[in-house]
C-alpha cells in the first residue's frame, strides 16, 4: 500500500498565508521521509482539496490520509473537510482515505506555545529564532519571516529598515 498525506488548512485570500501550508508540507516531508505529501486549502485558494487528492493519486497513492491543519475540532475539520474529501475520493474508485483529527490538545502544542512566548518576551524575531533551530527548519522559517516582512516577495524598499525596535 502506498500512502499519501494531504495537509488541509482553511485557505486565505493572502498568498503569504497560503504559502505557510506548503512550507509545513515540506517540513513534514523532511522529518517523516514520506514519499507523497501534498497540501490543499478548504476554500479561497488553490490547490483545492479535490486538486490535492488528485495529486496524491497521480503520484501513485492508493491510501490518502487527510490531516486538517486546524487547532480545534470545529465544523470545518469535523464536517466540511470530510465532506469535501469524500467528494474528491468518489472520483477515484478503489482509493482508500481517512481524515485524521486536527492538531487539538497535545503536549507538543503546549511546548511550542511556551517556546514562542518565551522568545517573544525576550524580543526575539523569527530570524533570531531560526538561528537556534535545527538546520532542516532554519531555511523554511527564514523564508516565512521574509515573506511576512515583505509580502511582495522582494527586498525592503530603499531607505526602509528591516530591524524591529
Q: List every span in the chain annotated with CATH 3.40.50.1400.
A: 1-104
**What's the grid cell of residue 132?**
537556534
Q: Three-state SS for 7?
A: strand
Q: Map grid coordinates 511556551 to a residue.
A: 114
Domain 1-104 has CATH 3.40.50.1400: yes
Say which residues have a Cβ less than 8 Å from residue 57's Cβ, sequence separation at least 6: 4, 64, 92, 95
Residues 70 and 106: beta-carbon distance below 8 Å:
no
Cα gap 130→19, rounded to integer Å: 18
Beta partners for 38? 6
DSSP 155: P
pTM of this structure: 0.73
Task: Give residue 101's pLDDT band: very low, low, confident or very high (50, 70, 90).
Answer: very high
Tens-digit pLDDT profile for residues 54-97: 999 999 999 999 999 999 999 999 999 999 999 999 999 999 99
Amino acid at each position: 500500500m502506498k500512502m499519501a498525506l494531504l495537509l488541509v488548512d482553511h485557505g486565505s485570500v493572502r498568498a503569504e498565508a497560503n504559502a505557510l501550508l506548503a512550507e509545513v508540507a515540506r517540513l513534514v516531508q523532511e522529518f517523516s521521509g514520506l514519499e507523497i505529501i501534498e497540501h490543499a486549502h478548504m476554500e479561497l485558494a488553490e490547490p483545492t482539496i479535490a486538486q490535492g487528492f488528485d495529486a496524491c493519486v497521480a503520484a501513485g497513492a492508493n491510501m490518502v490520509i487527510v490531516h486538517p491543519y486546524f487547532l480545534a475540532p470545529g465544523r470545518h475539520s469535523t464536517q466540511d473537510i470530510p465532506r469535501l474529501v469524500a467528494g474528491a475520493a468518489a472520483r477515484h474508485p478503489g482509493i482508500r482515505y481517512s481524515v485524521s483529527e486536527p492538531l487539538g490538545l497535545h503536549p507538543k502544542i503546549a511546548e511550542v506555545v511556551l517556546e514562542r512566548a518565551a522568545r517573544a518576551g525576550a524580543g526575539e524575531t523569527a530570524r533570531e529564532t531560526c538561528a537556534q533551530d535545527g538546520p532542516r527548519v532554519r531555511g523554511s522559517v527564514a523564508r516565512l519571516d521574509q515573506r511576512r516582512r515583505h509580502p511582495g516577495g522582494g527586498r525592503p524598499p530603499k531607505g526602509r529598515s528591516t530591524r524591529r525596535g
